[in-house]
Structure 1
Amino acid sequence: MDHPTVGASYIARVVNLEKASYKVQIWDTAGQEQYRSLAPMYYRGAAAAILAFDITYENSFLSLTKWIEDLRDIGTEGMILVVVGNKADLAHSRKVSVQEIESFANDNGVPYFETSAKTGSNIEDAFLHICRSVPDFLIRSPPAPTRNIRLDDSFEVPKPKGKKKCNC
């Protein structure tokens, strides 16, 4: 039996694509309702999100609508979203049809990839799609504002009181 993510786990990896390399920072957050309130702190400021569900468990598919709403409401403007149906190696136990998933993806304007974490099937394609899409996202996003702090003669570091110098 597979064990679901509890809380969140983190992986960093480099994806080499044509003429550039991308450092991809992956936060795998728990999808269960009891962890839902923690998710925004992981996806705030993210350029992309993969919404993974289990093709053999219909409730995980049905929760995608709420996740997409949350990401579009709270996530970064223009965030790239990708839907991934996992456990393609268990297609004989499928509870959600490919047609239903593709219709959902089309209605929400997101690409769909069917993958298997067990065999590694199609996972690379999902990440390559994101990396190819991210530069457009970054170009559309204005740079974060910077603040300059001027340190001049009027700024003094307070001296500690009551301490003696060491005469060692």
Structure 2
Amino acid sequence: MKRAFAVFAVGGVLLATACRAESATSPEALPTSATPPASSPSQGASVTPTPRVERRTVVQRRSIRYSTRRVTDPGLARGTTRVARHGVKGVLTLTYRVTFTDGRQTAKKLVRKVVTRAPVTRVVMVGTRVARRCDPNYSGCVPIASDVDCAGGGGNGPAYVSGTVRVIGSDIYDLDRDGDGIGCD
């Protein structure tokens, strides 16, 4: 006698039973006492399988934008900017508990929210210095205008020079009247 095994599904559970085979010629031959139960799928009754539920931990990372701070700088000319420190994006780590039923996502719950790397603020220096425009023909600052006169003199301006200046180029405003190279003396 040979042994054969029969496998049946009852209520979503697989059952295996050992049977004695009466005939050695057919391994599939089962004794009449080992016939499948009436509720087996082979006789037309439907068996609903139990859903397969799986839980996973999912980690996502998102970037955090950095902010920009503007700081006035009297050492820079008005209207100019300079980046003193570059900004760096931060990182936010989100941990979720995700439930899948038969391969489809059915639930998602936020478990933890952590700032992994804080953003670094960008710093921009903004110039506030008013640039004085000086004529290159004089040492000391003689403003560039349609006419420049010595302060306290008899000239009518519109611009004035206080103190003495040295003429290093051509005396276009006629500030050195005596020709000694020093104007407004």
TM-score by length of 2: 0.18
Higher relative contact order (CA 8 A, sep 6+): 1
TM-score by length of 1: 0.19
Greater helix fraction, Structure 1 or Structure 2:
1
Structure of higher CA gyration radius: 2
